[in-house]
Chain A
Amino acid sequence: MESWMMAIAILLPLVAGILVFIIRQYHVQSFIVVLTAIILAVNSILFLQQGPFTYSPGGFNWGLMVTILDYVILLFYLYVGISLRNWLVLIFALTQLIPLAWWEFGMKAHVELTPAFVVDHLSIVMTLVISIIGSLICIYALRYMYDHEHHTKLAKSRQPRFLFWLVIFLGAMNGLVFANNLVWLYFFWEVTTLCCFQLIAHDLTKEAINNAARALWMNSLGGTAFVFALIFLYVTQGGAEALSVQNIISGHITGAVIILPVALLCFTGFTKAAQMPFQSWLLGAMVAPTPVSALLHSSTMVKAGVYLVLRLAPAYAGTHLSTIIAIAGAFTFFAASGLAISQTTGKRVLAYSTIANLGLIIACAGINTPLAIAAAILLIIFHAISKGLLFLCAGTIEHQIWSREIEDMEGLAAKAPLTTLITTVGILSMFLPPFGMLLGKWLALEAAYMVPLAAIFFVLASTLTIVFWTKWLGRLLQVLPKIGWPREKLSLSYSVPLWLLLIGIFVIGMGVGPIYQNFILSATNNVITGNQIIPIGWHSLILTGTAFVEKGILGIFLVWPLFLILAVALLLPLLFIGLKPKELRPVYLCGEQTGDLDTDEWLAEADVKTKFQLGGYYYQKVLGEKTLDPWVNTIAIVILVIMLGYGVIIK
């Protein structure tokens, strides 16, 4: 049973990927992808039911295969570096390849570990996110790529190749979150980097290739740190046993000597999670077709980064490294939120928001109290759902107006009401109560006082968050006086993932109490053992019985009353307020509008009809990338240097 579940989670995507690559018919491909998606989702739920277990595959020399594939991938990077004449790619491929070869062949390191895979609650949370949300995005990609190729008028369809990498990605991610053997983890890590590279480069424009190369070298830099951490652990601890994730985090290896490799691994996590100063690869990844962005941002790739940092939390608990990580994450949260305000492209706003929220999650890991870890896990789940939804919305919008610019989305509510509605809920769910992201943020703020500097960054960043989301939403909603909405039809491949994710936001948001108790708490216990203190404020969300009524707080007050309030506030008016045509008036233009109701023309001087235009504010002089990037990157680099320097000194 367990071996089957494992095989499905990791190998089925590979098989499906190869199948869609060979079979080039749209319908057959769709069938395969949808089937894989369903199986993966069901499989992940089985994992949930099964609970934690350990597993080591037998019958085949998997270790050898991993080693061989490692070198294949690295040699491919070398090839990419040479063929693109991109020296950074080349250098960082070599810095991985040479030490690895020296270690494995020169030192004859042989790492064979049992168990090779450890499934615990944290991995189960991750696999649920990957398998369900990732699968939905793959389904979405089917139709999206069809439209995309139609629009770009490609001669020969590259869709099979695209789907191949997309589906494999899920398998690699599943492997990554289950792996206990650090060498295998490294292998899956490299596979995700490879998939990411291939998907970003998919359109084969100059920009796409450049950005893909940037993603590649930055992640290879992270990979290099990973390799060094491996070797360091192996050498100083004298053996393969040191390369088991469980051993590292359960305190079997103690003492200051572990700090440096852990710091290196966290550095690797930072690169993958696109933390400052590595944000540029994720921003560059925006050139890829939108499903890729959705996948990278919500359920895969960047989540691997935060997973690694979170996973290692016990290893650095109680050290200054923990505080430094908290500050680094909080700083990214703050800086990325600020930069998001100046972005004029929808997808870039989303990208900065992702970077910011990953920073928040990493900061929570750094704060390293049970509460903060719980917040981090909650945020991973909610962020995956909301961000997945928002990217799919961005893709849908893009395929309706063929633009990614926020200014072009002006008045979308009048053109595509359904998409706008879903986008609105998605955006609101990112930063407002009672939605999950805010609950996570709330928990994070309650925990943040441990590291006051992080708390200050949290406060500033959450304010900035309000500004950039509201600003964008405002552009969508800007409509002229008109009665009635046009009917909007979405293809099934678009609407099913959209609606499912939308429902997911509400179901998981409302069920946060039970989910927290049954699910997050045990996942938190996997990361950090200690007393589970639920903050008192949260008693209002989680039913804790009589003790709580005695405290004199309003009786049984779960999170759903907040949803009820939301419904009263927005849903009821939406459904029940009618507007009669005779009640409509044009907007106030000093009486100079040209007659009709839904006019945006007025008579300027000499009675010339002039269309007035409104634009969003982006504050680019103050908050633009040109102004802020040098500062932000400098500070981030300083923090990273301190982080690694601390590891070196402690040793």
Chain B
Amino acid sequence: MGLIEKSRIKSPWILHFDNSSCNGCDIEILACLTPLYDVERFGMVNMGNPKHADVLLITGPVNRRTARVLKNLYAQVPDPKIVIAVGTCASSGGVFHNCYNVLGGVDKVIPVDVYIPGCAARPEAIIDGVVLALQKLASLRGDKK
């Protein structure tokens, strides 16, 4: 494993995007940053900007309004990138399934690499999901995908 691949695992920067969740999952993501879980020890940092991100953490089901935004943000994240759907809603639409304005899970709009189930997804599960994603990330090359 080269230096860059190793660094990739050690330094996942996160962009958190909320489609139309109930905010349950979002709070759990923020909980990861707190001293109790402290994801920064793995080098994870929550970025406010897709251009700096490696990992897209997406919560909530995609609706007609957010689908476009999600696509735009996804395009602005430089490769290699990983998309993680956090929570049942993001994975499949969850309790919002078949709502008049809801398209469904995140994978309806952009390719998803890791699904983290749970309503809401527990911080441990989120960290676990990110670690899983990192293994995939390490194998990706900058110009692919």
Within 8 A of A (CB), among B40-81: 49-51, 65, 68-73, 75-76
Residues in chain B near residue A592, CB distance under 8 A: 69, 72
Taking the nearest CB of chain B, how far is it from the CB of A217, in angstroms?
A: 57
Taking the nearest CB of chain B, how far is it from the CB of A606, in angstroms?
A: 11
In the complex, A593 Cα to B73 Cα: how many Å?
10
- Asked if residues A585 and B69 are in contact (CB atoms below 8 Å), the reply is no
Within 8 A of A (CB), among B67-103: 68-73, 75-76
Taking the nearest CB of chain B, how far is it from the CB of A602, in angstroms?
A: 10
Taking the nearest CB of chain B, how far is it from the CB of A604, in angstroms?
A: 13
- Asked if residues B51 and A591 are in contact (CB atoms below 8 Å), the reply is no
Residues in chain A near residue B68, CB distance under 8 A: 591
- Asked if residues A585 and B51 are in contact (CB atoms below 8 Å), the reply is yes
In the complex, A607 Cα to B75 Cα: how many Å?
20
- Asked if residues A591 and B49 are in contact (CB atoms below 8 Å), the reply is no
Taking the nearest CB of chain A, how far is it from the CB of B15, in angstroms?
A: 10
User: Which secondary structure characterizes the binding site on chain B?
Assistant: helix
In the complex, A593 Cα to B97 Cα: how many Å?
28
Residues in chain A near residue B73, CB distance under 8 A: 591
Taking the nearest CB of chain B, how far is it from the CB of A587, in angstroms?
A: 9
Taking the nearest CB of chain A, how far is it from the CB of B73, in angstroms?
A: 4
In the complex, A588 Cα to B49 Cα: how many Å?
8
Contact mask A126-166 → B, CB, 8 Å, 1/0? 00000000000000000000000000000000000000000
Residues in chain A near residue B51, CB distance under 8 A: 585, 588
In the complex, A256 Cα to B50 Cα: how many Å?
73
Tell whether A115 is near chain B: CB-to-CB under 8 Å.
no
Contact mask A602-613 → B, CB, 8 Å, 1/0? 000001000000
User: Which secondary structure characterizes the binding site on chain A?
Assistant: loop
In the complex, A590 Cα to B68 Cα: how many Å?
11
Please name the residue on chain A nearest to B78 by beta carbon: A585
Within 8 A of B (CB), among A595-642: 607
Tell whether A99 is near chain B: CB-to-CB under 8 Å.
no
Residues in chain A near residue B76, CB distance under 8 A: 585-586, 588, 591
In the complex, A17 Cα to B40 Cα: how many Å?
76
Please name the residue on chain A nearest to B49 by beta carbon: A588
Please name the residue on chain A nearest to B75 by beta carbon: A585
Residues in chain B near residue A588, CB distance under 8 A: 49-51, 76
In the complex, A607 Cα to B72 Cα: how many Å?
15
In the complex, A590 Cα to B51 Cα: how many Å?
11
Q: Which of B70, B71, B72 has the most CB of A within 10 A?
A: B72
Residues in chain A near residue B69, CB distance under 8 A: 590-592
In the complex, A586 Cα to B72 Cα: how many Å?
9
In the complex, A592 Cα to B70 Cα: how many Å?
9
In the complex, A607 Cα to B66 Cα: how many Å?
12
Please name the residue on chain A nearest to B76 by beta carbon: A585
Count residues of chain A with CB under 8 A from any CB of chain B: 8
Taking the nearest CB of chain A, how far is it from the CB of B62, in angstroms?
A: 13
In the complex, A89 Cα to B40 Cα: how many Å?
74
Taking the nearest CB of chain A, how far is it from the CB of B110, in angstroms?
A: 12
Residues in chain A near residue B49, CB distance under 8 A: 588
Taking the nearest CB of chain B, how far is it from the CB of A3, in angstroms?
A: 70
Taking the nearest CB of chain B, how far is it from the CB of A79, in angstroms?
A: 67
Residues in chain B near residue A586, CB distance under 8 A: 72, 76
Within 8 A of B (CB), among A573-599: 585-586, 588, 590-593
In the complex, A586 Cα to B50 Cα: how many Å?
12
In the complex, A586 Cα to B49 Cα: how many Å?
13
Residues in chain A near residue B65, CB distance under 8 A: 607
Taking the nearest CB of chain A, how far is it from the CB of B26, in angstroms?
A: 16
Q: Which of A590, A591, A593, A607 has the most CB of B within 10 A?
A: A591
Please name the residue on chain A nearest to B73 by beta carbon: A591
Q: Which of B68, B70, B75 has the most CB of A within 10 A?
A: B68
Residues in chain A near residue B72, CB distance under 8 A: 586, 591-593
Taking the nearest CB of chain A, how far is it from the CB of B109, in angstroms?
A: 12
Q: Which of A586, A590, A592 has the most CB of B within 10 A?
A: A590
Taking the nearest CB of chain B, how far is it from the CB of A406, in angstroms?
A: 28
Please name the residue on chain A nearest to B65 by beta carbon: A607
Taking the nearest CB of chain B, how far is it from the CB of A603, in angstroms?
A: 8
Please name the residue on chain A nearest to B66 by beta carbon: A591
In the complex, A593 Cα to B75 Cα: how many Å?
12
Contact partner, B70, options A585, A591, A593, A607, Cβ 8 Å: A591
Residues in chain B near residue A590, CB distance under 8 A: 69
Contact mask A235-252 → B, CB, 8 Å, 1/0? 000000000000000000
Taking the nearest CB of chain A, how far is it from the CB of B66, in angstroms?
A: 9
Please name the residue on chain A nearest to B50 by beta carbon: A588
Please name the residue on chain B nearest to A585 by beta carbon: B76
Within 8 A of B (CB), among A235-288: none
In the complex, A585 Cα to B72 Cα: how many Å?
10
Residues in chain B near residue A607, CB distance under 8 A: 65
In the complex, A592 Cα to B71 Cα: how many Å?
10
Taking the nearest CB of chain A, how far is it from the CB of B120, in angstroms?
A: 23
Please name the residue on chain A nearest to B51 by beta carbon: A588
Within 8 A of B (CB), among A528-557: none
In the complex, A592 Cα to B50 Cα: how many Å?
13
Please name the residue on chain B nearest to A607 by beta carbon: B65
Q: Which of A585, A586, A593, A607 has the most CB of B within 10 A?
A: A585
Contact mask A497-522 → B, CB, 8 Å, 1/0? 00000000000000000000000000
Taking the nearest CB of chain B, how far is it from the CB of A136, in angstroms?
A: 45
Residues in chain B near residue A591, CB distance under 8 A: 17, 50, 68-73, 76
Residues in chain A near residue B17, CB distance under 8 A: 591
Contact mask A394-433 → B, CB, 8 Å, 1/0? 0000000000000000000000000000000000000000
Taking the nearest CB of chain A, how far is it from the CB of B101, in angstroms?
A: 13
In the complex, A593 Cα to B71 Cα: how many Å?
11
Taking the nearest CB of chain A, how far is it from the CB of B98, in angstroms?
A: 23
In the complex, A592 Cα to B72 Cα: how many Å?
7
Residues in chain A near residue B75, CB distance under 8 A: 585
Residues in chain A near residue B50, CB distance under 8 A: 588, 591
Within 8 A of B (CB), among A206-245: none
Please name the residue on chain B nearest to A592 by beta carbon: B69
In the complex, A343 Cα to B51 Cα: how many Å?
35
Known: A585-B76, A591-B17, A592-B72. 13 other contacts (CB 8 A): A586-B72, A588-B49, A588-B50, A591-B50, A591-B68, A591-B69, A591-B70, A591-B71, A591-B72, A591-B73, A591-B76, A592-B69, A593-B72
Name 23 A/B residue pairs within 8 A (Cβ), A-sorted. A585-B51, A585-B75, A585-B76, A586-B72, A586-B76, A588-B49, A588-B50, A588-B51, A588-B76, A590-B69, A591-B17, A591-B50, A591-B68, A591-B69, A591-B70, A591-B71, A591-B72, A591-B73, A591-B76, A592-B69, A592-B72, A593-B72, A607-B65
Nearest 10 CB-CB pairings of A with B = A591-B69, A591-B72, A591-B73, A585-B76, A588-B49, A588-B51, A592-B69, A593-B72, A588-B76, A588-B50
